[in-house]
Chain A
Amino acid sequence: MAELSLIDISKSFGGRQVLENVSFSVSDAEFVSIVGPSGSGKSTLFHLIGGLLEPDNGDIYLDDKRVNGKRGAISYMPQSPSLLPWRTVLENVMLGGEIIGDKNPSEAINMMAKAGLAGYEDAYPDQLSGGMKQRAAFIRSMLSPQPLMCLDEPFSALDEFTRLDMQQWLLSMWEEHRRSILFVTHNIEEALFLSDRVIVLSSGPALVKADYTIPFTRPRKESMVLSHDFLEWKKTIYQELRVMT
Chain B
Amino acid sequence: MKQIKTGWRPVAAILLLLVTWEAAGRAADIPSWLLPTPSQIWLEAMAGWVDYKLHLFSTIKLTLIGFLLGSSIGITAAVCLHLLPKLRETVYPLMILSQNIPIIVLAPLLVIWFGFGILPKLIIITLVCFFPIAVATLDGFRQTSPELLHYLKMAGADKRQIFWKLEWPTALPALFSGLKISATYSVMGAVISEWLGAQRGIGVYMTLASSSFRTDRVFVAIFFIMVLCLLFFVIIITIEKRVIRWKKKGAEQHG
Query: Which residues does A use to contact B, with CB under 8 Å?
Result: 46-47, 50-52, 71-76, 78, 80, 82, 84-87, 95-96, 98-100, 124-127, 144, 150
Contact = CB atoms under 8 A, between A and B. Distances in A.
A127 B250 contact: yes
6 contacts: A76-B154, A76-B155, A85-B250, A126-B249, A126-B253, A127-B253
Interface residues of B, number: 22
Contacts of A51: 156
Contacts of A50: 153-154
A76 B250 CA distance: 26
Given A82-B147, A127-B253, 12 more contacts: A50-B153, A71-B156, A78-B151, A78-B154, A82-B148, A82-B150, A82-B151, A85-B246, A86-B169, A99-B156, A124-B249, A127-B250
A183 B172 CA distance: 35
A132 to B, nearest CB: 13
Contacts of A98: 165
B154 A84 contact: no
* B interface, over-half SS: helix
A72 B155 contact: yes
B156 A78 contact: no
Contacts of B156: 51, 71-73, 99-100
A124 B250 CA distance: 7
Given A124-B249, A126-B249, A95 B148 contact: no
Contacts of B109: none
Contacts of B247: 85-86
Contact of A86 (B153, B157, B161, B246): B246
Interface of B: 147-148, 150-157, 161, 165-166, 169, 172, 244, 246-247, 249-250, 253-254
A95 B155 contact: yes
Contacts of B172: 86
Which of A82, A87, A95 neighbours the largest number of chain B CB atoms within 10 Å of its CB? A82
Nearest to A73: B156
Contacts of A95: 155, 165
Which of B147, B155, B157, B244 neighbours the largest number of chain A CB atoms within 10 Å of its CB? B155
A73 B166 CA distance: 20
Contacts of A52: 153-154
B64 to A, nearest CB: 28
B165 A126 contact: no
A84 B166 contact: yes
A47 B166 CA distance: 20
B246 A124 contact: yes
B155 A126 contact: no
A85 B166 CA distance: 10
A87 B249 CA distance: 12
A175 B212 CA distance: 87
B167 to A, nearest CB: 11
A51 B195 CA distance: 60
Contact of A76 (B151, B161, B166, B169): B151
Contacts of A85: 246-247, 250
